[in-house]
């Protein structure tokens, strides 16, 4: 039996203030090492609840993984509750203490006694290094089960899953059938239209499961099968790609911005971005990609008309006559910035994020994006439903997608 269970610990989860988000990456990490997750629970920061859940889950699963409640404050009870569930004391663990000291040393600080309290582990536990937080995780055997205890901060969970937990799992492989998966990233197609095009493939029954997960202007398609059906997985993936054509951003799950940065680097080309309603979002998404500094020179957030004139060289009389929300202004912004910075490509966005219409009566969601290149400028008009945030994120995606398609 290689059955795993997850337990997310936190008042904020059980009170509905925070949405649980660590399960999906942990399930993927476990699955890659032959562990199938059979149960997942949330529980409060309550010692009795944690003890009960640990006893119950360890009776049915031989790997139990918890998240949350390892912080330095008084509401963090997990380590003590796990010790109680297993029937051991806690004591200062030298290896965990060394990890905490090293983490602080790396940032030129010294841990306080409160920080070091995070090294008080149940006796018999082995510390797991946390590359981006102060609380180490740990692994504790209990009967025929292993309990893996992690902090709850999502970025710390991800970092541990990729490093110390990964190493531990590699040394403790399960025997559940390996699953294989492929993730495709798709842009420029609403989820309903996507569902329509793939309806027959998405029906259950076959060996390949397909799930679609919409983001802001980008949909991720997840294809999954037992490793024994690798051929079926590949052939369904090829069928999906052939039906969706140029809407497929990547066959690796890489995002729009990652694909754009990669293609710019391959060409040795440089990009600048002039943003109005997206207010820096296009550039922020690009710069989040490692290596973006080579090809993204920078940009201007010209949120008001005077800045569009002074920083981008947009014609003041055009703004006066047509207002800022029109195709001609998007084109002028992109061309103006391209000229000023001498880059091969320049993107621009202008539009109404909402919630209401603008003073000229342009409705929320009316957006223009433009791309200026050495061989001419193209623009797209969009009408985007949803909240202010939706409109801004989808506008940023539309601009990035315009460039992606131009980069071939």
Q: What x-and-dash track marks residues 375-394 binding its own copies by CB under 8 A?
A: --------xxxxxxxx-x--
Distance separating the N- and C-terminal Cα atoms of the chain: 48
Q: Does 18 bind its own copies (CB under 8 A)?
A: yes
- Of 196 and 231, the one with the shorter C-beta distance to its own copies is 196
340: part of which helix (H) or strand (E)?
Answer: helix 327-341
Q: What x-and-dash track marks residues 343-382 binding its own copies by CB under 8 A?
A: ------------x---------x-----------------
Question: Of 13-21, 121-129, 233-241, 397-405, which segment contacts its own copies by CB under 8 A?
Answer: 13-21
Whether the CB-CB separation of 62 and 27 falls below 8 Å is answered with no
Q: What is the CA radius of gyration of the chain?
A: 26
CA-closest candidate to residue 298, choices 284, 312, 309, 310: 284
Whether the CB-CB separation of 130 and 164 falls below 8 Å is answered with yes
Q: Does 260 bind its own copies (CB under 8 A)?
A: no
Task: Determine the 3-state secondary structure of 141 from DSSP.
Answer: strand
Whether the CB-CB separation of 398 and 351 falls below 8 Å is answered with no
Task: Determine the 3-state secondary structure of 371 from DSSP.
Answer: strand
Please give the DSSP secondary-structure letter assigned to residue 204: B
Look up residue 81 and give its two tokens: 């509750």
Residues 126-165 that bind its own copies (CB under 8 A): 132-134, 153, 155, 159
Give least dist CB 274 to its own copies, A: 10
Residues 171-210 that bind its own copies (CB under 8 A): 191-196, 198-199, 202-205, 209-210
CA distance 372 to 332: 9
Q: What x-and-dash track marks residues 293-332 binding its own copies by CB under 8 A?
A: x--xxxxxxxxx-xx--xx---------------------
Q: Does 110 bind its own copies (CB under 8 A)?
A: no
Give least dist CB 292 to its own copies, A: 8
Contact partners, residue 344, CB within 8 Å, separation at least 6: 267, 269, 270, 271, 373, 374
Q: Give just the sign of the alpha carbon dihedral 53, 114, 132, 140.
A: negative
Q: Does 268 bind its own copies (CB under 8 A)?
A: no
372: part of which helix (H) or strand (E)?
Answer: strand 366-373
Give least dist CB 212 to its own copies, A: 5
Angle between helices 23-32 and 164-171 (to 10 degrees): 40
Look up residue 75 and give its two tokens: 């509401």
- Of 9 and 121, the one with the shorter C-beta distance to its own copies is 9
Question: Of 25-33, 90-98, 226-234, 398-406, which segment contacts its own copies by CB under 8 A?
Answer: 25-33
Look up residue 216 and give its two tokens: 């802001």
- Of 97 and 275, the one with the shorter C-beta distance to its own copies is 275
- Of 259 and 271, the one with the shorter C-beta distance to its own copies is 271
Q: Does 107 bind its own copies (CB under 8 A)?
A: yes
Give least dist CB 124 to its own copies, A: 26
Q: Does 287 bind its own copies (CB under 8 A)?
A: yes
- Of 49 and 241, the one with the shorter C-beta distance to its own copies is 49
CA distance 63 to 163: 18
Residues 56-85 that bind its own copies (CB under 8 A): 56, 71-75, 77
Give least dist CB 266 to its own copies, A: 19
Q: Does 288 bind its own copies (CB under 8 A)?
A: yes
Q: Does 211 bind its own copies (CB under 8 A)?
A: yes
Size of the site for its own copies (CB under 8 A): 111
Angle between helices 78-86 and 47-60 (to 10 degrees): 50
């Amino acid at each position: 039996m290689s059955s795993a269970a997850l337990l997310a610990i936190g008042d904020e989860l059980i009170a509905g203030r925070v949405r649980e988000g660590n399960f999906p990456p942990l399930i993927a990490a476990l699955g890659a090492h032959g562990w199938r997750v059979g149960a997942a629970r949330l529980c409060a920061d309550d010692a009795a609840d944690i003890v009960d859940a640990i006893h119950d889950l360890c009776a049915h699963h031989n790997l139990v993984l918890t998240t949350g409640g390892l912080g330095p404050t008084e509401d963090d009870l997990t380590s003590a509750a796990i010790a109680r569930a297993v029937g051991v004391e806690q004591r200062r663990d030298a290896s965990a203490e060394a990890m905490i000291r090293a983490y602080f040393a790396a940032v030129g600080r010294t841990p306080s006694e409160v920080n070091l309290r995070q090294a008080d582990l149940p006796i018999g536990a082995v510390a797991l290094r946390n590359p981006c937080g102060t609380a180490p995780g740990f692994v504790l055997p209990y009967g025929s089960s292993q309990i893996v205890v992690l902090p709850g901060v999502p970025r710390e969970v991800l970092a541990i899953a990729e490093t110390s937990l990964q190493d531990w799992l590699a040394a403790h492989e399960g025997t559940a059938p390996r699953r294989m998966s492929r993730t495709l990233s798709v842009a420029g197609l609403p989820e309903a239209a996507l569902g329509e095009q793939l309806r027959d493939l998405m029906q259950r029954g076959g060996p390949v499961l397909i799930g679609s997960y919409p983001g802001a202007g980008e949909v991720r398609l997840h294809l999954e099968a037992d490793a024994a059906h690798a051929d079926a997985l590949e052939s369904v993936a090829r069928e999906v790609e052939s039906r969706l054509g140029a809407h497929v951003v990547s066959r690796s799950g890489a995002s729009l911005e990652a694909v754009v940065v990669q293609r710019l680097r391959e060409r040795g080309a440089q990009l600048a971005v002039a943003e109005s309603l997206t207010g820096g979002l296009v550039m922020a998404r690009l710069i989040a990609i490692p290596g973006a500094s080579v090809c993204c020179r920078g940009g201007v957030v010209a949120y008001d008309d005077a800045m569009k004139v002074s920083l981008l060289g947009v014609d003041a009389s055009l703004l006066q006559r047509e207002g800022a929300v029109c195709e001609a202004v998007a084109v002028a912004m992109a061309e103006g910035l391209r000229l000023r910075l001498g880059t091969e490509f320049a993107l621009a966005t202008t539009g109404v994020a909402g919630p209401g219409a603008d003073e000229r009566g342009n409705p929320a969601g009316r957006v223009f994006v433009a791309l200026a290149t050495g061989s001419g400028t193209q623009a797209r008009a969009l009408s985007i439903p949803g909240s202010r945030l939706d409109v801004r994120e989808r506008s940023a995606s539309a601009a990035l997608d315009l460039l992606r398609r131009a980069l071939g």
